[in-house]
């Protein structure tokens, strides 16, 4: 077997794409290695959502230059969102890259690699016009019990800060029967938890009209043997009552909604083109809590969007305190050329952004801790993942609400469902005792 190193950056969609790349490479004799130095093929599946993501990849590209000098037969390709965005510029900047394959070309990987094996040379394919979705691609899943299943590709929302619609193309939903078939296959192989993926899962099916997201959720929930259904990401603008009801009425659909708010003032939300108002978001959060009292709500927040004043920032903090998220991913606004926000006036300076970010994190950490504190003494259902990173005796898993739980290992095995009594809730994790 030849060896392939696949470096994955960015979101779950990239993780899922990489699993399909690995699946395809398996058909032409490559197995995955974690050691870049011993690889015959190196793929970097990249992200460009923020500048920091791109910087990491440029660092890696530099490192790989030395490996390629030692091993000229090495094949080195860039895939994913940066590949889509930069195209052949990447090869001009770093000629040791053999190929650049865009986000719509995942299914061309075998063809491209074989071409380079036969006759060395550079290949760039970042055309994005394709509407036909490749089905039935082989997939080598990273997890043993949790599987990612993409339900739609692309994004139509064009939030003014965001590069994703430019590098992932327009929204295209898979047919419901294709999604259900992939879920059934995964469950048949022992997967217990399925996460449905899309940049905005609530607009699933708007293009083909065969099923909406609520219906898809219910159909996936009904797959025999499935234990947990998760989904991400939900755009607040079209999280419908039907979806909330489907979660409430489903048996296996986990009570966790990742509902990125991005900001907490109408002025900035409007400038971001998020389409909802704080009033509408507040209403939505209330509806979720009424119908799903156990649900956790998590979010993404950007600080330092162009024009954000101290007053806007404090109004946002107040909104965060009002909604009370279980946890939040918080980001410094990063200027992405080609997006409308990149050329807006009143860019916020870095020092100010950083101060605001740390203030926001303090506020959010306090809230996360308080919410978790309320779980002290309670018993929760956990799907066992395995030993934690630092200690073989301490095992980890997640609640239905997607909180990480740690406990001292007994007789349980990965993939088991166990009851854990929470004894030491913390900001990021819940420590407990297995029952």
Q: Is the peptide bond before 233 cis (omega within 30 degrees of 0)?
A: yes
48 binding partner (options ligand SF4, ligand SAH, ligand F3S, none; Cβ < 5 to 8 Å by kind): ligand F3S
Contacts of residue 118, Cβ cutoff 8 Å, sequence gap at least 6: none
Nearest to ligand SF4 of 262, 402 (CB atom): 262
Which CB sits closer to ligand SAH, 233 or 296? 233
Tokens of 111: 């063809």
* 430, 372 Cβ separation under 8 angstroms: yes
**Complex with ligand SAH: residue 233 or 364, whichever CB lies closer:** 233
- The alpha helices in 71-161, defined as continuous H runs, are 81-86, 89-93, 109-118
* 163 three-class SS: coil
Give how many residues touch ligand F3S by CB under 6 A: 13
Q: Which is nearer to ligand SF4, 79 or 233 (CB)?
A: 233
Binding stretches for ligand SF4 (CB under 6 A): 155, 157-159, 162, 164-165, 199-200, 235
Q: Applying CB under 6 A, does 357 fall inside the site for ligand SAH? A: no
Provide DSSP, 88-107: THHHHH-TT--EEE-TT-GG
Query: Residues 397-428, buried b or exposed e (16+ Cβ, 10 A)?
Result: bbbbbbbbbbbebeebeebeebebebeebeee
Instruction: Return d(Cα 360, Cα 354) in angstroms, integer.
Output: 10
Whether the Cβ atoms of residue 348 and residue 333 lie closer than 8 Å to each other: yes
Is residue 235 close enough to count as binding ligand SAH by CB under 6 A? yes
Instruction: Single out the residue of 435, 387, 432 nearest to residue 413, CA to CA.
Output: 387
Q: Which stretch binds ligand SAH (CB under 6 A): 186-194, 285-293, 330-338, 371-379?
A: 330-338
Whichever of 39 and 155 has its CB closer to ligand SF4, that residue is 155
Nearest-CB residue to ligand F3S?
Answer: 10
CA–CA separation, 59 vs 94, rounded Å? Answer: 12
Residue 14 binds ligand F3S, judged by CB under 6 A: yes
Q: Which is nearer to ligand SAH, 83 or 302 (CB)?
A: 302
Residue 331 touches which of ligand SAH, ligand SF4, ligand F3S, none (CB < 5 to 8 A by kind)? ligand SAH
State the binding string over 45-74 for ligand SAH (x if CB under 6 A, else -).
Answer: ----xx------------------------
Residue ranges that bind ligand SAH, judged by CB under 6 A: 49-50, 161-162, 164, 199-200, 233, 235, 260, 262, 300, 302, 331, 333-334, 336
């Amino acid at each position: 077997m030849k060896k392939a190193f696949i470096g994955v950056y960015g979101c779950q969609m990239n993780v899922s794409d990489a699993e399909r790349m690995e699946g395809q490479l398996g058909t032409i004799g490559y197995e995955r290695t974690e050691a870049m130095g011993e690889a015959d093929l190196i793929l970097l599946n990249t992200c460009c959502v923020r500048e920091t993501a791109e910087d990491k990849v440029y660092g890696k590209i530099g490192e790989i230059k030395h490996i390629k000098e030692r091993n000229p037969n090495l094949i080195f390709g860039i895939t994913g969102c940066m590949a889509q965005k930069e195209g052949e510029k990447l090869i001009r900047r770093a000629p040791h890259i053999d190929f650049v394959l865009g986000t719509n070309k995942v299914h061309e990987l075998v063809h491209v690699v074989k071409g380079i094996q036969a006759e060395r040379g550079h290949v760039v394919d970042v055309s994005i016009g394709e509407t036909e979705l490749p089905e039935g691609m082989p997939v080598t899943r990273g997890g043993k019990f949790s599987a990612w299943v993409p339900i739609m590709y692309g994004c139509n929302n064009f939030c003014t800060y965001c590069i994703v619609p430019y590098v992932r193309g327009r929204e295209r939903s898979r047919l419901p029967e294709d999604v259900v078939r992939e879920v059934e296959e995964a469950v048949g192989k022992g997967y217990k938890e399925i996460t449905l993926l899309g940049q905005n899962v609530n607009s699933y099916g708007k293009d083909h009209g065969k099923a909406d997201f609520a219906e898809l959720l219910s159909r996936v929930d009904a797959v025999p043997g499935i234990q947990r259904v998760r989904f991400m990401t939900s755009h607040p603008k079209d999280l419908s009552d039907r979806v909330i009801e489907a979660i409430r009425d489903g048996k296996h659909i986990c009570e966790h909604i990742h509902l990125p708010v991005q900001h907490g003032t109408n002025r900035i939300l409007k400038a971001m083109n998020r389409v909802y108002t704080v009033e509408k978001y507040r209403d939505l959060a209330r509806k979720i809590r009424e119908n799903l009292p156990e649900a956790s709500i998590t979010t993404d927040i950007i600080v330092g969007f162009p024009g954000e004043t101290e007053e806007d920032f404090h109004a946002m903090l107040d909104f965060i305190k009002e909604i009370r998220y279980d946890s939040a991913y918080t980001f410094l606004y990063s200027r992405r050329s080609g997006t409308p926000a990149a050329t807006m006036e009143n860019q916020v300076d870095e020092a100010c952004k950083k101060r605001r970010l740390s203030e926001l994190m303090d506020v959010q950490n306090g809230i996360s801790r308080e919410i978790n504190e309320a779980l002290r003494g309670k018993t929760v259902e956990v799907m066992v993942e395995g030993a934690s990173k630092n200690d073989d005796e301490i095992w980890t898993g997640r609640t239905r609400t997607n909180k990480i739980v740690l406990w001292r290992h007994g007789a349980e095995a990965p993939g088991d469902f166990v009851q854990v009594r929470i004894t030491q809730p913390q900001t990021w994790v819940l420590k407990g005792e297995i029952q």
